[in-house]
Amino acid sequence: MSTSERPAPSTLSDLAARGVVLVDGGMGTLLQDMGLDDGGSGELWNLDRPDAVRDAHRAYAESGARVLTTNTFGGTRPRLEMHGLGDMVHQLNEAGARLARKEADRVGALVAGDVGPTGELLFPLGTLDAEAATALFVEQIQGLVAGGIDLVLVETMSDAAEAEAAVEAAHRVAPGLPVVVTFSFDTNLHTMMGVDPATAVTRMAAAGVDAVGANCGRGPGEMEAIAAAMVAARDALPEPGLLLVAQSNAGLPQVVGDHFEYDATPDDMATHAVALRDLGVDLVGACCGSTPGHVAAMSQAFGASPA
């Protein structure tokens, strides 16, 4: 089918109205397989090795993903300064969005501008205040919007206040774009900063997000328990319409020779995806350790054919 025959859905809600939405999987896993050094800046590849980044997006698109996530997880100024790239925030984020945009347009997918934690602690545990955090996120999101994203994805959050700062930034920079926030509940079904799934739902709903959920974590089993708690919290909200998201790691990492491999197979993730759909989750994807093979199996489990 030609690109002209694949019009992109106009909004995230349009896509969700058609049924469960398949989101892509881990980017870091693929880039490391392509040669990214452990601890290196994946975001720099948006300029230095754009073909590799685009290949990763293409692989997920062809596996059936209909939301492609930009290679910009560490794209805030504090994270880039760790690699001496603090003055390239706009450039790296815009480039990352443009690479995902090219592949998304081939299959009628949406582009999620990926925004990760700053790595700084907010007051009172740290010195960063909410307005300064918002300014950092504004800077990153401006680059993503310039590159043509369809929605803002704030992911792997631990601190609800930092998530709220990122949401505020998205609303300032791109008031017309949907905002999705996911937390990592990897400490006894809480985030590292003590946020539980129900609190995440209620606080993000109050912040005006379009979707909230969980990513990363300790594997499919725990993700299903988190998703169930989030569904219950959503059902208790006074206003309907909030979408839920779940993107589990592909199990847990195991030492195999001189490297780590995650222990959930594509079939495991396919079974997990159906369980999430049946719970009432609207957007389902994968996270660390996942590959296009995992996403293809999830797509097939939903009864879809990869592009």
- The domain locations on the chain are 3-301
pLDDT score, position 107:
95
Spell out the residues 6+ positions from residue 127 whose beta carbon is closer than 8 angstroms to its own. 120, 121
Q: Which amino acid is at 67?
A: V
Residues in CB range of 154: below 8 A, 6 or more apart? 115, 137, 163, 166, 167, 170, 179, 180, 181, 182
Averaged pLDDT score across all residues of the chain:
93
Which position has the higher pLDDT, 301 or 260?
A: 301
Please indicate if the annotation marks 20 as binding a ligand: no
Q: Tens digit of pLDDT for each residue in 6-30?
A: 444 557 988 888 899 999 999 998 9
CATH architecture for residues 3-301: Alpha-Beta Barrel (3.20)
| For residues 213-220, average pLDDT | 95
pLDDT digits over 234-273, tens only?
A: 999 999 899 999 999 998 878 777 667 788 999 999 999 9
How far separated are the first and last CA of the chain, in Å rounded?
9
pLDDT confidence band for 84 (50 / 70 / 90): very high
- 3-state class percentages of the chain: helix first, strand second, coil last, to nearest 5: 45, 15, 35
152 is in an annotated binding site: no
- The answer to whether 288 is a known ligand-binding residue is yes
Residue range 273-277: average pLDDT? 98
Q: Which of 100-109, 147-156, 249-258, 270-279 has the lowest mean pLDDT?
A: 249-258
Q: How confident is the model at residue 88 (pLDDT cuts 50, 70, 90)?
A: very high
In one-letter notation, the amino acid at residue 268 is D
What is the pLDDT at residue 7? 47
pLDDT in tens, 283-296: 999 999 999 999 99
Q: Is omega for the bond preceding 197 within 30 degrees of 0, making it cis? A: no
